[in-house]
């Protein structure tokens, strides 16, 4: 792995046949730092800066080596496109039946409740009524003609996820009104970060993908202390859970046989504005592992863009659907270094549950064909039975599928997935 200088990077653009000489000059500029999530017409030097600042490690500039080794990463057809693996090789689909129809199906309160019951997400019974959720591998059946609002149900279709466009959904589920708010999103890292991860000299801190499960989040500043910070985002409250990292040479892919990182760390799987979504010659979103949706910020204080900007303003509407103000009220704005600030808002610390599932799970739940599984966030007697099967002593069987159980399942299950279905339960010696 060779670390390229900015000057070598600019020269690489010319070698690759890039015909904009001003771009090479821009990339050599050291003092061009973008404001937080500026509009998409910004310079390529600013795009480069944001790429670095949205990398996973808070302190890590070294992720930029992936950018330098791949100078045309922003093209619509990159030099190397990531490949979504076949179902049998995925972390979230291997235990599910294959898709049997292209027909649309309903995402609604009933389907989400069946998923909660079948996965043992019992703690949601005591959770606040606004639950955040993600649906990996799904889109609306028809393109919306107006900004999203809470609905009784949304017709969606299953689509293969990818690492370049919005092929997922993010939403808010109001368990009291039994309505859902849904918008296009991504729950997978962008292909450029996958490349950076594979080229890294270590197995950590470049890019990752979190498996489906139930996670805890709190409002806070995403990428605090960087030029690309986003106040009022949703940050993971749990520092220890398994994530998948692309480290093997060959096709860029997130197959379940890649490297499972179970070390306690800040993986950076936050929920925030994806920043880009309109220009064909730029990434559709920025994410090294975060859950992102279309949206921008309008100024250096990180205020979300105009609410009536559709669809670019969906980030602002997502915050409103989650019961927050459109623009967070900044209570602290402390300069740490030129262009870098510590920012806090009046809503920081507010807690949410985040349910990450798949489009296929939603379809099967609607058809009444959902099957019981256990995974991160599950709890109850079945988890206690799993803990016993994994060899935990009685005093440690708390009935909570947390990072320790997840790590044991990955170690003993020999299936390269932290999801326990009926077949794996039988292998482990208990009845699911």
How is residue 256 written in tokens?
């379940």
How is residue 409 written in tokens?
């399942």
10 Å CB burial of residue 340 (0-12, 13-18, 19+) is middle
Q: How many CA atoms lie within 13 A of 412 on its CB side?
A: 20
How is residue 382 written in tokens?
């079945």
Q: How many CA atoms lie within 13 A of 232 on its CB side?
A: 28
Interatomic CA distance for residues 388 and 390, integer angstroms = 5
Outline where 167-287 has alpha helix (H).
191-199
Helix 6-15 / helix 21-28 crossing angle, nearest 10 deg: 170
233: confidence class by pLDDT, cuts 50, 70, 90: very high
The predicted-structure confidence for 271-317, as pLDDT tens digits, reads as follows 998 875 444 455 567 788 999 998 876 655 566 766 666 766 788 89
Residue 117, φ and ψ in degrees, nearest 5: -70, -45
The predicted-structure confidence for 321-348, as pLDDT tens digits, reads as follows 999 998 888 999 999 988 788 999 999 9
- Say which residue, 142 or 276, is predicted with more confidence: 142
DSSP code for 267: -
Q: Which residues contact 188 (CB under 8 A, 6 or more apart)?
A: 136, 161, 162, 163, 167, 168, 209, 254, 287
Q: Residue 251: its pLDDT value, please?
A: 83
8: confidence class by pLDDT, cuts 50, 70, 90: very low
Least confident range from 4-13, 84-93, 262-271, 346-355: namely 4-13
Q: How far is CA 9 from CA 3, 45, 200, 228, 299, in A?
A: 10, 12, 17, 22, 29
DSSP notation for 307-362:
TTSTTTTHHHHHHHHTT--SS--EEEEEEEETTEEEEEETTTT-EEEEEEEEHHHH
Residues linked to residue 273 through DSSP beta bridges, in sequence order: 293
DSSP notation for 362-395:
HHHHHTT-----B-TT-BSHHHHHHHHHTT--GG
What is the value of pTM for the model shown? 0.85
Q: Residue 391: its pLDDT value, please?
A: 95
Q: Are strands 340-345 and 213-222 parallel, antiparallel or unpaired?
A: unpaired
Average pLDDT for 380-403: 96
CB 268 within 8 A of CB 64: no
């Amino acid at each position: 792995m060779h670390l390229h200088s900015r000057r070598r990077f600019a020269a690489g653009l010319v070698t690759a046949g890039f015909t904009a000489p001003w771009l090479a000059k821009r990339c050599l500029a050291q003092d061009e730092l973008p404001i937080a999530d500026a509009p998409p017409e910004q310079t390529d030097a600013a795009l480069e800066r944001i790429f670095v600042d949205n990398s996973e490690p808070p302190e890590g500039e070294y992720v930029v080596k992936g950018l330098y080794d791949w100078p045309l990463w922003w093209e619509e057809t990159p030099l190397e496109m990531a490949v979504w693996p076949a179902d049998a090789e995925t972390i979230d689909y291997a235990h599910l039946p294959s898709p049997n129809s292209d027909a649309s199906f309903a995402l609604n309160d009933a389907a989400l409740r069946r998923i909660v019951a079948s996965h043992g997400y019992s703690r949601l019974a005591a959770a606040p009524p606004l639950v955040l959720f993600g649906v990996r591998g799904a889109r609306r059946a028809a393109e919306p003609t107006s900004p999203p609002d809470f609905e009784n149900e949304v017709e969606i279709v299953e689509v293969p996820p990818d690492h370049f466009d919005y092929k997922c959904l993010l939403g808010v589920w109001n368990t009291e009104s039994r309505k859902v708010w849904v918008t296009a999103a991504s729950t997978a890292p962008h292909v450029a970060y996958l490349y950076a991860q594979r080229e890294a000299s270590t197995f950590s801190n470049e890019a990752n993908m979190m498996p489906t499960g139930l996670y805890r989040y709190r409002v806070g500043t995403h990428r605090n202390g960087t030029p690309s910070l986003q106040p009022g985002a949703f940050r993971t409250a749990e520092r220890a859970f398994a994530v998948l990292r692309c480290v093997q040479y060959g096709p860029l892919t997130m197959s379940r046989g890649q490297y499972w990182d179970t070390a306690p760390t800040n993986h950076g799987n936050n929920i925030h504005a994806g920043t880009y979504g309109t220009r064909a010659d730029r990434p559709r979103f920025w994410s090294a592992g975060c859950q992102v949706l279309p949206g921008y910020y309008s100024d250096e204080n990180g205020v979300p863009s105009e609410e009536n900007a559709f669809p670019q303003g969906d980030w602002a509407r997502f915050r409103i659907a989650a019961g927050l103000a459109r623009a967070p009220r900044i209570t602290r704005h402390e300069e740490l270094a030129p262009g870098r600030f510590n920012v806090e808002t009046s809503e920081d610390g507010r807690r949410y549950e985040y349910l990450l599932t798949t489009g296929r799970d939603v379809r099967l739940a609607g058809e009444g064909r959902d099957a019981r599984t256990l995974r991160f966030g599950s709890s109850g007697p079945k988890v206690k039975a799993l803990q016993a099967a994994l060899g935990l002593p009685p005093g440690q069987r708390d009935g909570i599928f947390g990072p320790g159980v997840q790590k044991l399942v990955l170690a003993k299950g020999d299936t390269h997935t932290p999801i326990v279905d009926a077949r794996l339960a039988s292998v482990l010696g208990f009845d699911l």
